[in-house]
Each structure stands twice: as C-alpha cells, then as structure tokens.
A and B are shown apart, each in its own frame.
Chain A
Amino acid sequence: MRIGVITFPGSLDERDAQRAVRLAGAEPVALWHGDHDIQNVDAIVLPGGFSYGDYLRAGSIASHAPIMAEVIDAANKGVPVLGICNGFQMLAEARLLPGAHTRNAHQHFIRRDQKLRVENNTTAWTTQFTLGEEIIIPLKNADGLYIADAETIKRIEGNGQVTFRYAGLNPNGSMNDIAGVSNERGNVVGLMPHPEHAVEPGFGPNTAVAMRSGLDGLKFFTSVIQSTLLAHA
C-alpha cells in the first residue's frame, strides 16, 4: 500500500502526513507539484500549509499545479484523495469538492484541539469511525470558514457529503458547522482540521485522558488502507 503526499511550494505539513502514513502501516511516497506523475500510488494526500503564500486565494494557485491534472484524473477514476486544510482548499478550488473557504469569522488565525462529529463513515477515509463518533483533531488555519450557496449546502447535506461537523464550538464560523466534506462517490475527502497531527502519543491533541495523547487522526489512514484492500480484494 503506497500513499502519495504532494509537496507544493509553501507546503508545511507534508512530512507530518508522511509520518502519519508510515505509522498507519503504509508506505509514504513523496510527490512533487511540478511533475506530471503520481507514481502509481494507491491514494493521495494534499497536505496543509500555505502553498504559494495563500496569494490570490488559499489553494487557488496550487490547484493549477502540473500534478493536479493527474490528481483530478485519478480522483475521477476513484483513487482516494484526502485534502487537509490547505489541501482541502485546493480540492475546493479544483472543483473536486463542493464549496469554498474564506477568512475565519473572527479574523484571527486559530489553533485549537477541535472536537468533530463523524457524519459519514462510508467514505474511503472514514470507514474506521463509527457514525456520530466524537473525535479530537488539531485545527489551525486562518481561512477556514466553509461556505457554499444554499442549493449546494442542501444538496451535500441531502447526499450525506458532509463528512465531519464541528462539535462543541464552531471555531471559524463555517456554515452548518461543516468541518469536512466528500465528493458524491466518497473517495475524495477534504477537511480543515489536521488528522496527521493526532497519530502519535505525546505529540497529539490533549484528551480527557492525558495531554497530547489524542490518536484519532490515525483512523483516517487506516481507513484508506482498509478500503483500498477491500477494493482490490
């Protein structure tokens, strides 16, 4: 099982995403934004960061990177794709996922241990969760307010495309408390919080049990390993 992690200029969390892939039991493959090559990987992660300094709009320039042609092609063929934070913004800009992002309602960058509710556990990246499960995943962004027109919101809510919702507190003013969404097929998922930062004891978010002990992010990666194995079986 090989999972590609793309580095764009200004990517920040790509090495963390590679570590998460490794801890989940798969082989991380470093992919480069300028190549027209996804090296035949089984799944793809678009990591967090400030690609191109978030100039123009967050994720906008990166969504036109050479490798995105292959990413879009693979996504349309059903290859699992996960966009984390800036990666989510790129997937929205590339129209692989519905909606868009704007500045947090309070205008500040915010970093917090965020509670999420799992709203769909049938996507390629969420099968290891139970429906309605509450998980803690670190959140850190400046442009995290999820927004879409009323018709889109109605459609994705009706289709079960809202994958994660903020629980307890909506940290950025996102519509319907939406933290993450999927495409209709369920192979492409994007979310603002960072699952790759909740994979290793001692370095994750605080939980009720102990400080920095949260490991809920690992399930994103074990989910995609399981769903890929099932698809190949």
Chain B
Amino acid sequence: MSTHVADTVENAIATPDKEQPYAALGLKPDEYAQIREILGRRPTSGELAMYSVMWSEHCSYKSSKMYLRQFGQKVTAKMKEKLMVGMGENAGVVDVGEGWAVTFKVESHNHPSYIEPFQGAATGVGGIVRDIISMGARPVAIMDQLRFGAIDHPDTARVVNGVVGGISFYGNCLGLPNIGGETYFDSVYQGNPLVNALSVGVLRHEDLHLANASGVGNKIVLFGARTGGDGIGGASILASDSFDAAGPTKRPAVQVGDPFAEKVLIECCLELYRLGLVEGIQDLGAAGISCATSELAANGDGGMIVHLEEVLLRDPTLTAEEILMSESQERMMAVVEPGKLDAFLAVVAKWDVETSVLGEVTDTGRLIIHHFGEEIVNVDPSTVAVDGPVYERPVAYPLWLDKLQADSASGLPRATTGEELREQVIRLVASPNLADKSFITDQYDYFVMGNTALSFPDDAGMIRVDEESGLGFAIATDANGRYCQLDPYAGAQLALAEAFRNVAVSGAVPVAVTDCLNFGSPENPEVMWQFKQAVEGLADGCLELEIPVTGGNVSFYNQTGDQPIFPTPVVGVLGIIDDVARRIPSAWQDEGNNIYLLGYTRDELDGSAWAGTIHDHLGGLPPVLDLSTEMDLASLLQGAAIESLVLSAHDLSDGGLAQALAESVMRFGVGARVWLNDIIERDGVDATAALFSESTARVLVSVDREDDVRFVGLCNARNYPVLRIGVTDQRGDEAVLDVQGQFVIPVSEIRERSNETLPKYFG
C-alpha cells in the first residue's frame, strides 16, 4: 500500500499559498491561474495532474481547435447522410449499408517512437485499436503511415527496425490484418520520425456505443491490465514538448504494450456488447484515468464518484497522482447498470480479465475522486475535458517560401537519350521512397480473419464486411510532405485527392475522411501558418468532394531543435464497395491486354520524385489539382468496376508514369510494351515529362481486348481523356518493360534494383 499522503481538497483550501509545480507539468502561468479561478481555490496535486494532462496540446487541441471547427462547418446535407458519428468521439462512424457500419481513425505516436521505437510503435497500434473497440466495433484492419530520417543515416536503422518490429509484434499478435500504409525517408524526419497508426472496425448499427456516463447509480468499472508506472506524464510531457538534445532522458515515460492482454480485451468487450451489458465505454489512452473519468462524466448527464484505492495496481507504491496520470496500456472503463454487474463480471472472468468497480454515476454534476476516504479531486468534469484553453496562435507567412516557390524544377537538365532515361527510371525505382517495401510488409500478417480482398502493394487495402453479400470497404492514406512544404494548402488537397483516387481505382466509392495532422511547433508562427493553410485546404477539398472528415488527430511539436518537419497531413479516405469480388487490383496479371492512360499529362516536375532523386531538388509549385476532374475520374472507374471492364488500375503519383509502369510489371512479372509518342503529341510534353511528371487525375489501366470498345466508349461518353499507350507482354524470365524508341529494361532487373534497397540498410 502507498504510504504517500495525497493532497486533499480540505488541505488545498487550508493552504492556498502552497507552491505547485505547474510549470514542470507543462502548464503556463495563465493556465494555472485559470484553474485556480475555475475551482475558486488552488488545485490539489491530483487535480493539478488531471488539468495538466487534459489541457496539454495532445489532449486539448488548444492550438488547433479554432481551425478544426471548419471540418464541422464546411459540410453539405449529402456529407451528413452516411455519417452516424462525427468528430469528437473516439472515432467517426459511417453507415455502409445492409445494417453495417464502419468506424475508422488515424492517430500519431511520433515522439514515443523516436525514444523507444519498438514500444512506441507497438502501443501506437494498441491505442488506436482501443479507440475502435470503444465505439462498439470489432477491429478488422490496421495500417501505418511511417516517415523516417535519411535511409543512410546511422540512426535510421535503429528507428526503422524498432518501429516495424513493434507494429509487427503488436498487430500480428492482435490478429488484425495490416493492409497498407506508407513509408517515406527524408532527413527532415531524422530526429522526429512520424509513426501514425490507423485502424478500422466493423459493427452492426445497433451495437454502436458511446463514451458517456449516464444513469445515476450506474457503476464505473475499470477492467483490463493493471495500472503501473509506465507512461506517467506521457501525455503532457512527451507528446507536447519537442526534443532537446541536452535534455534529460525521457525513457521511462514511454508505455509498454502487451498485445495478448489487448486481444483478450477485444474479445471480452465484444462479448459484453453482444450481451448488452455496457451502457457507456471509454478506452484509457493518453492521460489514463484522468481522461477516462472526466470525459465519461463530461459527456454524461450527471456527475461521478470514484474511489481511487480500488484501482488494481501493478506497483503498490504508486501515488494517487501517478494512478491518475498513468498511461498503462490495455485498460477500458465501462458504465454498467447495477442489475447487470454480476453478468458483466461473469463475462470478464471468463476471459481472465481483471476488474474492479471504482465508483458510480451521481447527480452532483461534479467529478469527485476519493483516495482511502479522503477527497482529492472535486471538479466540474467539463472544465477538465471539454472547456480547456483555446489559443489563437500568431500566424506568419514564411518569408522563405517565395524564394522556394520561385525555384522551379522545370529548368533542371533532362535526359537527352533513351539510355539516360533508362538510367533515371532505374534510379527512381531503387530510390528509398519508391523502392519495394516488402522488407517491411513481409513482417505483417494480412491473411488473418480471411476477409482481405486487397492489401499492399495495391493502391488501397480492401476488407470484406459481409460474407454473404460481399459488401466491403476500401481504405487508402496519403501525404506528400514535399508538396506541403511548397504549398500546404495545395499539398493537403493533393494528399486528399491521391487517397481519394487510390480508393477509386480499387473499385470502391469514397465516402469519408480521417486525418492525422503532423506539424512542427504551434508556437512558431510560420508552422501555425502552414497548419492553417493545410486545414483550410483539407476542409475545402472535402467540401468539394462532398465527403466528411469523421475524426483524426493533431500532432504538433514535430521538430528537432528549431527545425520543424515538412508539414505532413496524412489523409485517409474510406470507400464502400457492394461486392469485393469486383475489386480491381493495381497491376496486370495477363499477357495481351491493352494498356490505357486516363487523364492529361502536363509538364509538372516541381516537388516530384524525379526532381528529388535525380537532382536533389525541392522547389517550385506542386501539380495543379482540379477536384471536379478527380470526381469524374472516380465515377468513371466505378462505372468500369461495375461492368468489370478493367483488369487493373493503378494511380499515377510519386515517380509518375515510369514508376507506375515499373510497379505494374514487377508485381506479377508480366511485362509491357509501351509507346510515349501519343502522350507527347497530344499533351505537348517531352519524354521526361511523359515519364516522370506527377500530374493529377491520371490512372494506368489494363483492359481485355474484348472489352476495348466498351471501355473506350465509356471514357468518351464521360468525356474523360483516354489514350492507348501499350500492351501487356510476355511473363517469366524473358519479361521486359519496353518503352519503344527509348529503352528496354528486363523486369528481373527492375525487380532486383527495387528489392535490394531496404534490405541493404536494414536487413
């Protein structure tokens, strides 16, 4: 038992002048003053702990809130049609038809993953999966969006192998198919890698659960793993403070994950839902019990009393404040009717999950926490969880941006011979960002659950929801930090457009968006400008595409010293497909099919992979985007999918047509014979632009010769630009990518160069 004597409310009233370590807990002087004003006295140490974590940037969104409101304001009636739960809950929920709903969200775990890559990434997966469970859903898929430092930096292998190992360990052990994601390398992420984790869950409409504590007398039950000393202060200190090379080590603040405990917790929760034994539920993540109790109480209609000594501890020496702040993983808090408590406890016992009843819902409107009979917290829960400070941070246009945008890639030297083009294609294929990622994805299970219709390296992951009807969803995420550095408004929209396109090429209809906004310090006005621009771009883009943002996460303070990362808004788009049997893979599988290019190619090399890889150049303006054209393209692809007119469809993005062709021939070893002259002639570009431009709204498709007339007819009827640019060629050892009049590359050579890059550094 703890010998520490907690600071009581009585004591706080008696000792108003006691000095409190608010600054060390991350609170600013005016925030501390505000807490004193709310309470009409100084906070107890327990209350101070609660306010400090809940008012941290990570939990309160205090710098981003005023911008994020746009996602709720820029909406049309159509955008609300399928939305069952929008922003503000643990995850958004979308009606996908036939009585089914899908919930999904992406979240960051960047800072812990730099300090302790394995546990940081593992608990990132664990945390987002618990958000999905707490909506009443069965988690059915995960994805990760990863950004690391330069591939050849001496520290990168430590981070990559730790992060990938952690995701592999936790995700595989949970039995969740990992169906896609992103991996990029750039020196701007050297001291601050990005580890974002996305999870998707499936539920019947009637199983929807929300995080609120209602019904006076209902019991507050904590179940799952015991509470320990890991992750104490993680939320306020780790996630809201950038790294300083000279600072003290923060290792103990990283949480430790136990995927077995979480797997059992998932099954236990699903059984509780099935039997109707839970009124409200909340996962414990950042800020642990502080967050769960205050959010449940604030969202409910009364108050709550909690007896903290009832919390089962892993370490009996923990103080009351530490118990309130601990971020021990694999814990959930439920609101249970007294009459159902025995049935609840029986289910929990069946799964060998430990449980304790902490308290109950009251009608006082106050969150009151006792520790061994003494009152240590007495607050209005909404002042902790909802009405935290909101900042309008100074915003300043970055003065360096004009110069960067003026430095276009259009003047960079271009290849003059086929041989030079061939060499550039190979260099791009082998470059870290475009190279084969099997070294990473081979460590992830995508077979488990038996419903994976598409997964990496397909453009989107796809999961069957209903075994009878074939109903399913597709999901893709994207972010291009280089584009966002050049223009954060356009960059965010380009990420949205690419994820939208990636869902469309799979044959699904895009319906909803989640985002993880990774930026530098909000205290830097230039970063705040980038953030403002990106959020506006994303909100405007969603409005135009008429798909709502359903939830997400903001991660600030991603920087090393004063150097912020490229703005990196990761955008995830969810789509619905009536029958996954009609899914479209991203590469061709057969010889003798026609290859078509949809969309126009412009000379757009600014910010491209070509400029970065061949010339180490970043400048100019990102490609022009027209979202209405993207909608036309998506609708065309849906039409083609319904009539089964295309055999494969692959989005053109990083590395342009050259990279799309290389990926298409590598995937199943079926070569291609391609000509560029029609593109060059129609679009007025040269061979370099034809191969490497990253113009938007373009897709490479393969079509069976029998369906040629119907396919071209479909494109013409919809007035969408289409060009036949080649045919799929022989497979096997002799397979080649033959770009006629320019170069020939054996598929085996492309594959070897693409496959060797990651193992060379990390194997």
A contacts, CB < 8 Å to B: 9-10, 12-13, 15-16, 19, 34, 49-50, 52-55, 108-112, 138, 140, 142, 194, 196-197, 200, 202-203, 206, 210-212
Contacts and interface: CB of A to CB of B under 8 A. Distances in A.
A interface: dominant SS = loop
A58 B443 CA distance: 18
Interface-centre pick from B174, B175, B464 (highest chain A CB count, 10 A)? B175
Contacts of B445: 109, 111, 140
B449 interface: yes
B271 to A, nearest CB: 12
Interface of B: 165, 168-169, 172-175, 258-261, 263-264, 350-352, 442-453, 464, 467, 580-581, 585, 589, 668
27 contacts: A9-B263, A9-B264, A9-B352, A12-B448, A13-B175, A16-B450, A19-B450, A34-B350, A50-B259, A52-B260, A53-B173, A53-B259, A108-B165, A108-B443, A109-B445, A111-B442, A111-B446, A111-B447, A138-B447, A140-B172, A140-B447, A142-B172, A194-B447, A203-B452, A203-B464, A206-B668, A211-B589
A162 to B, nearest CB: 25
A50 B173 contact: yes
A194 B177 CA distance: 15
B347 to A, nearest CB: 13
Nearest to B455: A212
Contact of B260 (A55, A202, A206): A55
Nearest to A50: B173
B450 to A, nearest CB: 4
Contacts of A196: 450
Contacts of A34: 350
Given A10-B260, A50-B259, A140-B172, A16 B589 contact: no
A116 to B, nearest CB: 15
A138 B451 CA distance: 14
Contacts of A10: 173, 260, 263-264
Nearest to A171: B442
Contact of A202 (B442, B446, B447, B453): B453
Contacts of B589: 210-211
Contacts of B259: 50, 53
A50 B258 CA distance: 12
B263 A203 contact: no
Contacts of B449: 15-16
Nearest to A112: B442
B351 A203 contact: no
Given A12-B175, A211-B589, A50 B260 contact: yes
Given A50-B259, A211-B589, A109 B453 contact: no
Given A196-B450, A203-B464, A211-B668, 10 more contacts: A12-B174, A12-B448, A16-B450, A49-B175, A50-B172, A53-B259, A109-B172, A112-B442, A200-B450, A203-B451
Contacts of B351: 9
Contacts of A55: 260
Nearest to A139: B447
A57 B589 CA distance: 42
9 closest A-B pairs by CB: A53-B260, A12-B175, A197-B447, A16-B450, A50-B173, A140-B445, A138-B447, A109-B168, A109-B443
B450 A197 contact: yes
A50 B467 CA distance: 25
A15 to B, nearest CB: 7
A16 B585 CA distance: 23
A53 B258 contact: yes
Contacts of B464: 203
B702 to A, nearest CB: 13
Contact of A111 (B174, B260, B443): B443
Contacts of B467: 19
Nearest to B583: A202
B125 to A, nearest CB: 14
Nearest to A106: B763
Contacts of B173: 10, 50, 53-54
Nearest to B580: A202
B581 to A, nearest CB: 6
B172 A203 contact: no
Contacts of A140: 172, 445, 447-448
B329 to A, nearest CB: 13
Contacts of A15: 449-450
A211 to B, nearest CB: 6
B447 A110 contact: no
Contacts of B580: 202
B443 A110 contact: yes
A197 B165 CA distance: 23
B425 to A, nearest CB: 25
Interface-centre pick from B443, B446, B448, B581 (highest chain A CB count, 10 A)? B448
A138 B450 CA distance: 11
Contacts of A210: 589
Contact of B442 (A54, A110, A142, A194): A110
A211 B451 CA distance: 14
Contacts of B172: 50, 109, 140, 142
A203 B442 contact: no
A63 B443 CA distance: 26
Given A49-B175, A53-B258, A202 B450 contact: no
A9 B605 CA distance: 53
A138 B449 CA distance: 13
Contacts of A110: 442-443
Contacts of B581: 202
Nearest to A113: B447
A197 B447 CA distance: 6
Contacts of A138: 447
Nearest to B587: A211
Nearest to B581: A202
B601 to A, nearest CB: 29
Nearest to B452: A203
A53 B258 CA distance: 8
A19 B174 CA distance: 19
B761 to A, nearest CB: 15
Contacts of A194: 447
B225 to A, nearest CB: 12
Nearest to A199: B450
A223 to B, nearest CB: 20
Nearest to B669: A208
Contacts of B442: 108, 110-112
B450 A108 contact: no
Contacts of A9: 260, 263-264, 351-352
Contact of A13 (B261, B263, B444, B448): B448
Contact of A203 (B258, B450, B668): B450
Contacts of A49: 175
